[in-house]
Structures are given as structure tokens and as C-alpha cells.
């Protein structure tokens, strides 16, 4: 049974560019959350998707947006990239509220 | 691989000893708590969870203790092995919310 799959694994972008990261949740999971993890820190919640809608959002600017598709897969889009957006972006899926997450291995984004 | 948590609190234990990792959580309204393990280059991995109506839960070689009075959570690992070396995060879900909030993490070193 495949877990959470994220693509790409690594990405280098220039300031001001836009990026799209992709996530396929674990089979049977309908809820997808995105996290940003800076080096040396815990993951920071970006937003959560359920039934193709953003259900809750963390303290991230509108440059961060997302989407969930009918097959539960999800995308994270970041516009007008800043150097400070360089981080590991983690996708996590779960079977509902108050269930533990299954995380993907993340996408390492470097903005230069 | 990537290095996670260069300046995290660190716990160093001898192989075979028991490890105790502590965490203070922030919100008395949190009702679900989880411990995650993150190895270098990987996403966090679910270890064990506990709901607020319990004060102790045991898994294979791991025990989580919850003290709601002082908002404290601990993870005990029995007979620590080299493969337990990783960064450990406690996380909390707040009642009525959807997001999981992560702590800063503790790096566990296991000496052979």
C-alpha cells in the first residue's frame, strides 16, 4: 500500500517565480494538510483540504494557495517566491479529524 | 541527506537504556496529542497518540503520558536502539479545530 507521494523531491526556483507542488494521499485518506518546515524547526501548518475545499488555514499569506481534486490528491501553489520560502514542504494525509497523519517525504524548495 | 534540527534540544542515551522525551503543550483546549519521529531526509512518522480522556497509553516499546494539569506530555522509549536516533516532535490538536500544531522537537542520539 503506497503511502503519501510527493513530487518533485527537490526544486530550485528564482525569486518572484511561481511553484506548484503535488501530493497523492495514502489510499483511504480523504483529508490533506500541507506544512512548511524550515531547517531546525517543527512543521508549520499552511492549510488543510477536505472535500475539495480549504477547511482551515494557518498564518501564511495569500501567495500560498492550494487545491484538492476529486481523487483527493492535492496541489500547493506559491506565487511571487521569496528567499524565505526556502524550506521543506510536507504533505500529510489522514482519515479524518483527530487521527494521526501519514506524511510524505517532502519537497525541498530552494529559492535563489 | 538533509539535516533536520541543527540546534534542537538534545537527549543522548546509551543503547539499551530507557529514553524519556518531554513536551509542554500550549493550549488547555487541546484534546488529541501525537508523537512523531523524523529521520534525516524523511517526513515525520506517526509513533503513538493519546486523547485527552486518557493519561497513559502504551505501544510497542513506547509509552505516552499526559498530564493535563500542567499541560505536559512525555514519550518513553524502552530499551533504546540505534534506530531510534531521530528528531521527535510532540503535536496537539485543539478541540473544534482541524490543524495539528507541532512543537519544536528534540533530537535523540543513541550511543552504541
Please provide residue B29's backbone torsions phi and psi, each rounded to the nearest 5 degrees: -85, -5
How large a percentage of chain B has pLDDT more than 70?
Answer: 94
Q: How confident is the model at residue A1 (pLDDT cuts 50, 70, 90)?
A: low
Q: Do A39 and B4 touch (CB under 8 A)?
A: yes
Assess if residue B57 is contained within a domain. yes
Q: What is each CA distance from B68 to A84, A101, B47, in whole angstroms?
A: 36, 23, 20
CA distances from A56 to A9, B100, B112 (A): 26, 11, 44
Nearest to A45 among B43, B89, B101 (CB): B101
The predicted-structure confidence for A90-104, as pLDDT tens digits, reads as follows 999 998 877 889 999
Residues B21/B105, Cβ–Cβ less than 8 Å: no
Q: Is residue B4 part of a domain?
A: no
When computed from its CA atoms, the radius of gyration of chain B, rounded to whole angstroms, is 14
Instruction: State yes or no: pLDDT of B25 exceeds 60.
Output: yes
- Whether B98 and chain A come into contact, CB under 8 Å, resolves to yes
Residue B1 resides in a domain: no
Is B34 a domain residue?
yes
What residues of B are in contact with residue A100 (Cβ under 8 Å)?
34, 46, 49
CATH number at residue B92: 2.60.40.10
Higher pLDDT, B62 or A99: B62
Number of domains observed in the structure of chain B: 1
The torsion angles phi and psi of B104, rounded to 5 degrees, stand at -75, -25
User: What integer is the mean pLDDT of A69-77?
Assistant: 97
Of B3, B100, B103, nearest to A45 by CB-CB distance is B100
Going through B1-112 in order, the beta strands assigned E by DSSP cover 10-14, 19-24, 30-38, 45-51, 56-58, 62-67, 72-77, 86-94, 100-102, 106-111
B48: pLDDT strictly greater than 80: yes
- Average pLDDT over chain B reads 90
- Residue B79 in domain: yes
**pLDDT band per the 50, 70, 90 thresholds, residue B1:** very low
Q: Give the span between the Cα atoms of B42 and B58, in whole angstroms.
A: 25
Q: Which of A37, A55, A106 sits opposite B98 (nearest CB)?
A: A55
Q: Does A41 touch chain B (CB under 8 A)?
A: yes
Whether B59 is in a domain gets the answer yes
Q: What digits encode the pLDDT tens for the residues B66-82?
A: 999 999 999 999 999 99
Does residue B3 lie in a domain region? no
Stretch B82-108: mean pLDDT:
91
Tell me the shortest Cα–Cα distance from B99 to chain A, in angstroms. 7
Read out DSSP for A49-104?
Answer: EETTEEEEE-S--TTEEEEE-TTS-EEEEE-S--GGG-EEEEEEEESSTTS--EE-
Structural domains in chain A, sorted by start: 5-111 (2.60.40.10)
Where in the sequence is the domain holding B15, given as residue range(s)?
A: 10-111
C-alpha A79/C-alpha A81 separation (Å) is: 6
Q: Do A105 and B2 touch (CB under 8 A)?
A: no
A52 min Cα distance to partner chain B (Å): 15
Set of chain A residues whose Cβ sits within 8 Å of the Cβ of B104:
41-42
Task: Establish if B5 belongs to a structural domain.
Answer: no
Quick check: B4 pLDDT over 50? no
Amino acid at each position: 500500500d503506497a503511502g503519501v507521494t510527493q513530487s518533485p523531491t527537490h526544486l530550485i526556483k528564482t525569486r518572484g517565480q511561481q511553484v506548484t507542488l503535488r501530493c497523492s494521499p495514502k489510499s483511504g485518506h480523504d483529508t490533506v494538510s500541507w506544512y512548511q518546515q524550515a531547517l531546525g524547526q517543527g512543521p508549520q501548518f499552511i492549510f488543510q483540504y477536505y472535500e475539495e475545499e480549504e477547511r482551515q488555514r494557518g498564518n501564511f499569506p495569500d501567495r500560498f494557495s492550494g487545491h484538492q481534486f476529486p481523487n483527493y490528491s492535492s496541489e500547493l501553489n506559491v506565487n511571487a517566491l521569496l528567499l524565505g520560502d526556502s524550506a521543506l514542504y510536507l504533505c500529510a494525509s489522514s482519515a479524518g479529524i483527530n487521527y494521526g497523519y501519514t506524511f510524505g517525504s517532502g519537497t525541498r524548495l530552494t529559492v535563489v | 541527506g538533509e539535516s533536520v534540527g541543527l540546534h534542537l534540544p538534545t537527549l543522548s542515551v546509551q543503547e539499551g537504556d530507557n529514553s524519556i522525551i518531554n513536551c509542554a503543550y500550549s493550549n488547555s483546549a487541546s484534546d488529541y496529542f501525537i508523537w512523531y519521529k523524523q529521520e534525516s531526509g524523511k517526513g515525520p512518522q506517526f509513533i503513538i497518540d493519546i486523547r485527552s480522556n486518557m493519561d497513559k497509553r502504551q505501544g510497542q516499546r513506547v509509552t505516552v503520558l499526559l498530564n493535563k494539569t500542567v499541560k505536559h506530555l512525555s514519550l518513553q522509549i524502552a530499551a533504546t536502539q540505534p534506530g531510534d536516533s531521530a528528531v521527535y516532535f510532540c503535536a496537539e490538536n485543539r478541540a473544534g479545530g482541524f490543524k495539528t500544531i507541532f512543537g519544536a522537537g528534540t533530537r535523540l542520539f543513541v550511543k552504541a
